[in-house]
Structure 1
Amino acid sequence: MTQSNAANKATGRRFRHATMRDLPQMQKIYARARALMVANGNPTQWGNEFPRESVIEDDIANQRTMLLVDTCNGHERILAQFALCPGKDPTYAKIDGAWLDNDTYVTIHRIAASGLVRHAARDCIRWALKHYGNVRADTHPNNKAMQHVLESSGFARCGLIQLLDRPVDTTRIAYQRHEW
């Protein structure tokens, strides 16, 4: 490998908490994710504005946002981001179906990849499983890409839930994986 090729090599994928300095780049990644959803037949899950800036800021302030990062050409890059929410999610209290169990869990919300590398969302899910063991998530019925990522990561489709924070387009497919 030549020296110039070595300098271009990305190194050290790792996870860290997001800070407010990351907000501009995170917003770009969320904008990319919204455009990708629209292009893939899922225009309403996040619409034009989700997640709202206030939600992202709250996630960061409360240490819920995790970033998958690496270093390329001496600069850190955000490869993917997600909110990891501990405690009972009120949206999950009522399900048309059944959760795997009623044990303590964490929820993955607002996952988005930058598009710089393949399988970044899957890496985020693996990290959450490794560190927390019992993980829930949900996605829109039209979000075939996220359904594939969850199902290929060993999540069970548990049923349907209804979002509590919006008046329309509330149905989501609920998933869970518990590392016993």
Structure 2
Amino acid sequence: MNKFHIRKAEQADKGRIWEIIQQAIALRKEQGSRQWQDGYPNEDVVQSDIDKGYGHVVEADGKIIGYVAIIFDIEPAYNAIDGKWLSDGEYVGIHRLAAAQDPHVKGVGTAIMQGVEEIAVLNGVYSIKVDTNFDNGGMLHVFDKLGYQYCGEVHFRGAARRAFEKLLK
């Protein structure tokens, strides 16, 4: 079993992060999804994540194998949910989660989300809100496995997405 380690992304990680995101974009296309097929996310988004301190990488055996943006701030799209969140207080928003395909390591998405939960609690925030495309089976499985509850739909760049929340205490 690989030991996963999550840490803040640094400028030196940007190339590897972009490789992983490009792999995820190609995988979504191969799976017939329209998610991430419109020029988002791109290198400017990754740079912004790093600059703002949102970007995090997941490592195993010293190699970066995953990426996620962990955002301790309001996500405006989440204010207009078609449905109802479990809570109205502070939350951590998760975006741009991607796992490397070179090597493909089983369990990276789960490890990332578990790492996010630990980071949230360490920062005194006990709610995680996240969304994904309707056809992203991998992420939907991770959310189900880790006890995230479906709350409704949110809209990003003109598309409806499934929204989930997990309360951590």
Q: Aligned equivalents of 1:86 and 1:113: distance in 2? A: 22
Pick the aligned partner of 2:32 from 41, 48, 51. 41
Comparing 93-102 with 45-54, greater Cα deviation is found at: 45-54
- 2:44 maps to 1:51: no
Deviation at 1:130, TM superposition (A): 2.1
TM-score normalized by structure 2? Answer: 0.90
Q: Aligned equivalents of 1:153 and 1:36: distance in 2? A: 23
Amino acid at match of 1:33: A
- 2:166 maps to 1:177: yes
- 2:109 maps to 1:121: yes
Q: Aligned equivalents of 1:147 and 1:58: distance in 2? A: 26
Pick the aligned partner of 1:68 from 54, 58, 62. 58
Pick the aligned partner of 2:77 from 73, 87, 91. 91
- Asked whether the equivalents of residues 34 and 48 of structure 1 are also in contact (C-alpha less than 8 Å), the reply is no
Q: Secondary structure at the match of 1:93?
A: helix
TM-score normalized by structure 1? Answer: 0.84
Offset from partner CA, 1:2-33 (integer Å, 9 cap, x none): xxxxxxxx975311111121111111101110
Q: Aligned equivalents of 1:13 and 1:100: distance in 2? A: 29
- Asked whether the equivalents of residues 135 and 176 of structure 1 are also in contact (C-alpha less than 8 Å), the reply is yes
Q: Tell me, which stretches of 5 or more residues in structure 2 are unaligned?
A: 121-125
Q: Aligned equivalents of 2:2 and 2:80: distance in 1? A: 43
